[in-house]
Amino acid sequence: MTASRLPLCVSALVVVALLAALPGARAGESKAAPNILVVIADDLGWHDVGYHDSDIKTPTLDKLAAAGVRLERHYVCPTCSPTRAGLLTGRNPSRFGIHGPISDRSTDSLPAKTRTLAQTLKERGYVTALFGKWHLGLRPEVGPRRYGFDQTYGYFHGQIDQYTHRYKNGDRSWHRNDEFVDEKGHATDLIADEAVRFLTTKRKEPFFLWVGFSVPHHPVQEEEKWLAPYKESIKDPSRRLYAASVAHLDAAVGRLVETLAKRDLLDNTLILFTSDNGGQRDYASKTEYEGKHGPYPTLGDNRPLRGWKGEMYEGGIRVPAFVSWPGKLGPRAVEQAVSYLDWFPTFARLAGAEVEAGWKLEGRDVGPLLRGDKQAVAAATLYWNDGRNRAILDGDWKLIVPGRPGAPPELYDLGADSAEKTDLAEKKPQRVEELKKLLAAQQKLDPSPSK
């Protein structure tokens, strides 16, 4: 639900009451605030996890999903920078002029004074850290520390060579606390190592840890130990590399969970797992990385959903996701639409923060949905604008307005047709007009291209 349709400003009294209602939390006691771990895979497709019957083995993710809350309609953006911007701010990324990946040597970044989830949790006494992919500013001066993170480690760009940690044009990207560093090792291992070190540090304060893995985004580079299990089952070499990188990711998440368990932190840590967008179909370039990587004719798998990364179809914006909080949530499946915009208000509430109207949050507190109360949260209205194509989702009805000149709008009833096989635009012109009005209202909230 957008901010205009669902005001999120609530009084401190209401926040305390909501916090008290949460299992395991005590109202008015900041020590009861849970740790929050956000894990983001890069370009992971819907059908690329074991619990969606994939040919890739993901035992850690499968176990967490089975015991937690599976989000069967978790929506993000079709590309990475917009999703990360929306997750961090609780606002549609087009409000900041972020429509697609911040790439090459762009000076674009999240506006400096933007209210962020990290800043809000920090004000509530959390230690905040971001390890891995940032992609909301490609230079140290617009790194994560400027936006509320105490500690940072990883890379600024949207993709890197897994071993040299250089961007596709050769630029440096790897950093610690927003200052360039050079290190050896596979990015997945280095990011997991840093997260484990963070989790083993003794502290009294709760933590907010954002771990953005570099895989399975291309270039996919994996050691034989990750490839070996798929030599017989996956014949396509590029798909095998992709599968190996997902298996590597799963093992890295397993290390984080094991560390939490050893430190007796698991029962007081909420884990959100998601992908930043749907799987990419293929990739080929003779110039990037000096032509050392690829081509990759087969990467992700979004079946049975239609479409790929970069598209407004479900395969581009609906991703595998779940919330794990042992003893507090699950096991259950949430069939209602939940989005990347919902996590700011949800986590802020868990921390006992008062959400201010001036933050202009556009997500909803989905805590009741996670606890099994299907009626307590209004249906979502979601809006996408990638600079060319636009889309709006209102309940089960989705309208896509392609950016191609002369291309007609497309209408889908996701309740009956989640694979988007039947375009109903011609049969339901009134519904198209209703959604066009919602779309126009949303687009008015975006800055004009000249600003």
Contacts of 451 (CB under 8 A, 6+ apart): 97
Which is the catalytic residue, given 80, 157, 165, 248?
Answer: 80
Active site residue 99: no
In Å, how far from its chain's centre is CA 230? Answer: 27
pLDDT: which is higher, 13 or 366: 366
Instruction: Retrieve residue 230's tokens.
Output: 């798929």
DSSP character at residue 283: B
Give me the pLDDT at residue 14, please: 34
How far is it, in rounded angstroms, from Cα 113 to Cα 109? Answer: 11
For residues 414-418, give the mean pLDDT: 97
Q: Which of 47, 74, 135, 293 is catalytic?
A: 135
pLDDT for the residue 32: 75
Q: What is the pLDDT of residue 9?
A: 36
Per the CB < 8 A criterion, the answer to whether 373 and 39 are in contact is no
Rounded Cα distance, 230 and 433, in Å: 49
The answer to whether the beta carbons of residues 438 and 444 sit under 8 Å apart is: no
Residue 86 to residues 355, 373, 443, Cα–Cα distance (Å): 16, 25, 16
What is the rounded CA–CA span in Å between residue 345 and residue 445? 20
Closest Cα to residue 73, out of 338, 384, 382? 338
Active-site annotation holds for 248: no
What's the alpha-carbon Rg for the chain, to the nearest Å? 21
Residue-level length of the chain:
451
Residue 203 confidence (pLDDT): 93
* DSSP state at residue 379: P
Residue 106 has pLDDT above 80, yes or no: yes
Instruction: Using the structure block, give the residue that is written with the tokens 């690829």.
Output: 294
The string of pLDDT tens digits covering residues 43-60 is: 999 999 999 999 999 999
Q: Is-contact 260 60, C-beta < 8 A? A: no
Looking at domain 32-378, which CATH architecture does it have? 3-Layer(aba) Sandwich (3.40)
Average pLDDT over residues 379-399: 96
Structure tokens at 205: 């304060």
| Whether residue 83 has pLDDT greater than 60 | yes
Question: What's residue 26's pLDDT?
Answer: 33
CATH number 3.30.1120.10 is the correct assignment for the domain at 388-443: yes
Q: Please tell me the number of Cα atoms within 13 Å of 232 on its side-chain side.
A: 1
Q: Quick count: other Cβ atoms within 10 Å of Cβ 150?
A: 16
Ramachandran angles phi, psi of 110, nearest 5°: -65, 135
How far apart CA 168 and CA 217 sit, in angstroms, is 12
pLDDT digits (tens, 9 = 90+) for 217-269: 999 999 999 999 999 999 999 999 999 999 999 999 999 999 999 999 999 99
Return d(Cα 168, Cα 103) in angstroms, integer.
10
Domain assignments of the chain as residue spans, ordered by start: 32-378, 388-443
What is the pLDDT, as a whole number, of residue 365?
96
Residue 394 has phi, psi (to 5 degrees) of: -130, 105
In this structure, the number of other CB atoms found within 10 A of the CB of residue 253 comes to 22
- Alpha carbon distance, N-terminus to C-terminus of the chain: 26
Q: 180: which strand partners?
A: 175
In this structure, what token pair is assigned to residue 242? 């992709």
Q: Percentage of the chain surpassing pLDDT 70?
A: 92
pLDDT of residue 450: 56
Token readout for 355 is 């959400």
> Which residue is it, tokens 């110039």?
287
Residue listed under structure tokens 């209210």: 115
Of 26 and 156, the structure prediction assigns the larger pLDDT to: 156
Question: How many angstroms separate the CA atoms of 116 and 245, rounded?
Answer: 30
- CB of 341 within 8 A of CB of 71? no
What's the whole-number mean pLDDT along residues 203-216? 97
Whether the bond into 219 is cis, omega within 30 of 0: yes
pLDDT at 30 over 90: no
Q: What pLDDT score does 19 carry?
A: 41
Q: Which value, to the nearest 10 degrees, does the dihedral of the CA atoms of residues 72, 77, 83, 89 take?
A: -90
Q: Is the pTM of this model over 0.85?
A: yes
Evaluate if residue 387 carries a pLDDT over 50: yes
Mean pLDDT of 183-201: 98
